[in-house]
Amino acid sequence: MGSQSDWSTMSHASETLQKLGIEHECKVVSAHRTPDLLFEYAETAEQRGIEVIIAGAGGAAHLPGMCAAKTHLPVLGVPVQSSMLSGVDSLLSIVQMPAGIPTGTLAIGKAGSINAALLAASILSNKCEKTKAALKAFRAEQTEKVLSNPIPGKT
Ligand code: RP5
């Protein structure tokens, strides 16, 4: 994520990955405050065994795009809700990548953070049976919660 202030949003991705038993790391890497660190992080990610990068940032959110420019690994961008423009700025900065370097873009805020983790799990589940099973179990549990909780007083 681009700042410690993004953690209240990005912690939801981490919690979801944890629920699914997916090993991950959480780091603050700012595209504009620590640009050299960002380059090093993205360039060495593959050799460190990272398979998917979730990048959350707010405002002029160039972190996911710059990260994607420096690695061929899939980069999933989470637009963090900003104080001035409620995250629309973050969303547009991440989603409107010119053709050639894609960033998978999720919803603004908590939903996007959770879904980034679930989408990362989907990508990993192509090769990892354990992750596939965990993802299916997560979905089954979610479905069961809806089905077993009818509206009170209604049939
Ligand atoms: C972005 O600027 C970060 O991703 C964060 O969402 C936003 C504000 O950062 P802080 O000023 O709170 O560190 O780089």
Query: What CATH number corresponds to the domain at position 16?
Result: 3.40.50.1970
pLDDT of residue 149: 87
Question: Is it the case that residue 155 has pLDDT exceeding 80?
Answer: no
Ligand 1 pocket check for 30: Cβ under 6 Å: yes
- Is position 153 within any domain? no
Is the distance from CB of 125 to CB of 131 less than 8 angstroms?
yes
- Is position 106 within any domain? yes
Measured from the CA of 2, which atom of ligand 1 is nearest? 4
Give the range of the structural domain holding residue 44, as residue numbers without chain letter.
Answer: 4-147
- Residue range 49-73: mean pLDDT, rounded: 98
In total, how many domains does the chain have? 1
Question: Is it the case that residue 154 has pLDDT exceeding 90?
Answer: no
pLDDT of residue 153: 84
Confidence of residue 96 (pLDDT cuts 50, 70, 90): very high
* CA of 121 relative to ligand 1 center, distance in Å: 26
- Is position 55 within any domain? yes
* CA of 133 relative to ligand 1 center, distance in Å: 36
pLDDT of residue 151: 84
> Cα angle at 144 between 143 and 147, to 5 degrees?
90
- Is position 92 within any domain? yes
* Cβ neighbours around 70 below 10 Å, total: 17
- Is position 10 within any domain? yes
| 148, HSE (Cβ side, Cα atoms, 13 Å) | 6
pLDDT of residue 150: 81
Cα(18)–Cα(87) distance, rounded to whole angstroms?
A: 26
Nearest protein CA to atom 2 of ligand 1, as residue:
58
Q: How large a percentage of the chain has pLDDT more than 70?
A: 99
Mutate-to-test residue for ligand 1 from 1, 6, 8, highest number of ligand atoms within 8 A of CB: 6
Question: Is it the case that residue 65 has pLDDT exceeding 80?
Answer: yes
Unique residue bearing structure tokens 């993802």: 135
Question: Is it the case that residue 54 has pLDDT exceeding 70?
Answer: yes
Computed over every residue of the chain, the mean pLDDT equals: 97
